[in-house]
C-alpha cells in the first residue's frame, strides 16, 4: 500500500474515537505503542506505518526492500493461486519471515530501545502490506511491470493502482479525503456494520508463536519445517527464524484475490472507474479493515496475553 493505505491500517488498529480512548488495543499494548512511538509519529500507529517505506530507499536500509512482499510463484491468469513459504520466500527474506522476525524482536526486552521501536515500525507496516493482493504475487514484480490506466492517467502500473490510485480516489470520493476518516468509517463497519459478523473470524489465527509446521494453511504444500534465515547477508551468524502460521494464512487470503478481481480487466480499461473499481473497492475496504484489526489483535496477544 501507499501512505494512505498504511495510515488507515494503523488508525484502524488504534481506533481513536472522539473521546481519545484507545479501543481495539488492549491496555498494555496501547501503553507500549504510545510510549515507544515518539513525537515524530505523533505517538500513533497511523503515521508510524509509513516509516518502513521512507527508509527502504536509503542505503542503510536497502536490505529491507525485499521484506515488503512475497513473490508467490502461482498462476492467477489461469485461475491457480497459492503461496508457499518454502517455494516463495526467496532466501528466507520476505514479508512472512519479516513479520516473524520483528514479532520476536518487539517483545525482546534485551534489545536496545531503538531496535524495539524499529521492530514495532516494521510490524505496523508489514501487517498492512501482507493484505495487499499484489504484495503476495510474483507476476511482473507484483504487477509493477503491467501498465495500467487510472482516472485517465495511463502511465501508471497495476501495482501502483492497488497501492495508491484506487485508495486515493476512494478516500477522496467517499471518506472525507483523510485516512483518519476512512479508518473511522471502517471501524464503524467492524463494530456495527457490514463487517460485524465476520470480524471475529479475522482473528481466529492470532498466535504470534504458533509455528507454520502445526497447520496446513490454504495453498500450503510444505510440511517439513523450514528454518528460514533472515539477514543471510550478515557476515556473522544469521538468526534462524521459525516460520509462523498466521502470516501465511493472511498471505493466502490476499493472494486469493489475485485469482478473482485483481487480474480481471481488459487492456486499456480504466481501473479507477467503472466495473473494475466497483469490484476492487470492497476488497480494499475489507483488506485494510481486516489487517488493522489483526494488527491490534497481534499486539494484544503479545503485550496483554489476550486470546
List of residues contacting ligand DCM (CB under 6 A): 60-61, 63, 65, 68-69, 71, 101, 115, 134-135, 141-142, 144, 159, 163, 230-231, 233-234, 239
Least Cβ distance, residue 195 to ligand DCM (angstroms): 25
Least Cβ distance, residue 170 to Zn ion (angstroms): 16
CB nearer ligand DCM, residue 14 or residue 258: 258
Residues 57 and 164: their CA atoms lie apart, in Å, by 18
CB nearer ligand DCM, residue 291 or residue 300: 291
Cα angle: 289, vertex 291, 293; to 5 degrees? 70
- Taking the CA of residue 237 as centre, how many other CA atoms within 13 Å lie in the half-sphere pointing to its CB? 3
CB nearer Zn ion, residue 130 or residue 249: 130
Binds 234, which of Zn ion, ligand DCM, none (CB < 5 to 8 A, cut-off by type)?
Answer: ligand DCM
Please report, to the nearest 10 degrees, the dihedral formed by the alpha carbons of residues 271, 275, 278, 279 taken in order.
Answer: -90
Least Cβ distance, residue 46 to Zn ion (angstroms): 15
Q: Minimal CA–CA distance to 288: which of 165, 139, 179, 173?
A: 179
CB nearer Zn ion, residue 39 or residue 60: 60
DSSP annotation of 165: I
Cell numbers representing residue 289 in the block = 479493515
Least Cβ distance, residue 176 to ligand DCM (angstroms): 25
Binds 149, which of Zn ion, ligand DCM, none (CB < 5 to 8 A, cut-off by type)?
Answer: none
Cα angle: 240, vertex 63, 239; to 5 degrees? 10
Binds 178, which of Zn ion, ligand DCM, none (CB < 5 to 8 A, cut-off by type)?
Answer: none
Least Cβ distance, residue 283 to ligand DCM (angstroms): 16
CA distances from 105 to 36, 98, 117 (A): 14, 10, 10
Residues 219 and 212: their CA atoms lie apart, in Å, by 13
Contact status, residue 217 vs residue 223, Cβ threshold 8 Å: no
Binds 215, which of ligand DCM, Zn ion, none (CB < 5 to 8 A, cut-off by type)?
Answer: none
Least Cβ distance, residue 114 to ligand DCM (angstroms): 8
Contact status, residue 72 vs residue 40, Cβ threshold 8 Å: no
CB nearer ligand DCM, residue 85 or residue 185: 85
CB nearer Zn ion, residue 15 or residue 132: 132
Going by C-beta distance under 8 Å and a sequence separation of 6 or more, which residues neighbour residue 268?
149
Binds 60, which of ligand DCM, Zn ion, none (CB < 5 to 8 A, cut-off by type)?
Answer: ligand DCM
**Contacts to Zn ion by CB under 5 A:** 68, 129, 163
Q: Beta strand 147-150 with 228-229: parallel, antiparallel or unpaired? A: unpaired
Least Cβ distance, residue 277 to Zn ion (angstroms): 18
In DSSP terms, 211 is beta-bridged to 244
Binds 63, which of ligand DCM, Zn ion, none (CB < 5 to 8 A, cut-off by type)?
Answer: ligand DCM
CB nearer ligand DCM, residue 141 or residue 270: 141
In this structure, what are the phi and psi dihedrals at residue 157, rounded to the nearest 5 degrees? Answer: -130, 165
Amino acid at each position: 500500500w501507499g501512505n494512505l493505505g498504511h495510515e488507515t491500517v494503523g488508525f484502524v488498529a488504534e481506533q481513536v474515537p472522539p473521546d481519545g480512548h484507545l479501543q481495539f488495543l488492549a491496555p498494555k499494548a496501547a501503553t507500549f505503542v504510545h510510549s515507544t512511538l515518539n513525537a515524530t509519529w505523533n505517538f500513533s500507529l497511523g503515521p508510524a506505518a509509513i516509516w518502513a517505506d521512507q527508509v527502504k530507499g536509503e542505503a542503510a536500509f536497502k536490505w529491507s526492500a525485499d521484506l515488503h512482499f512475497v513473490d508467490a510463484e502461482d498462476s492467477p491468469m489461469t485461475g491457480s493461486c497459492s503461496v508457499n513459504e518454502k517455494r516463495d520466500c526467496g532466501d528466507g527474506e520476505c514479508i512472512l519471515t519479516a513479520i516473524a522476525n520483528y514479532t520476536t524482536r518487539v517483545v525482546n526486552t534485551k534489545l536496545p530501545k531503538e531496535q524495539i521501536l524499529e521492530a514495532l515500525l516494521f510490524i505496523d507496516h508489514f501487517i498492512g502490506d501482507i493484505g495487499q493482493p499484489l504484495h503476495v504475487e510474483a507476476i511482473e514484480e507484483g504487477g509493477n511491470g503491467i501498465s495500467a490506466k487510472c482516472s485517465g492517467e495511463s502511465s501508471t502500473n497495476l501495482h501502483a493502482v492497488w497501492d495508491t490510485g484506487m485508495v486515493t480516489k476512494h478516500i477522496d470520493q467517499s471518506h472525507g479525503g483523510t485516512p483518519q476518516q476512512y479508518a473511522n468509517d471502517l471501524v464503524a463497519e467492524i463494530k456495527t456494520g457490514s463487517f460485524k459478523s465476520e470480524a471475529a473470524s479475522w482473528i481466529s489465527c492470532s498466535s504470534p508463536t504458533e509455528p507454520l509446521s502445526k497447520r496446513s494453511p490454504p495453498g500450503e504444500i510444505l510440511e517439513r519445517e523450514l528454518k528460514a534465515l533472515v539477514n543471510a547477508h550478515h557476515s556473522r551468524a544469521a538468526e534462524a527464524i521459525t516460520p509462523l502460521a498466521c502470516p501465511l494464512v493472511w498471505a493466502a487470503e490476499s493472494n486469493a484475490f489475485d485469482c478473482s478481481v485483481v487480474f480481471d480487466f481488459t487492456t486499456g480499461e480504466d481501473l479507477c472507474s467503472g466495473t473494475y473499481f466497483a469490484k476492487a473497492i470492497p476488497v480494499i475496504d475489507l483488506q485494510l479493515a481486516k489487517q488493522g484489526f489483526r494488527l491490534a489483535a497481534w499486539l494484544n496477544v503479545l503485550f496483554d496475553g489476550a486470546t
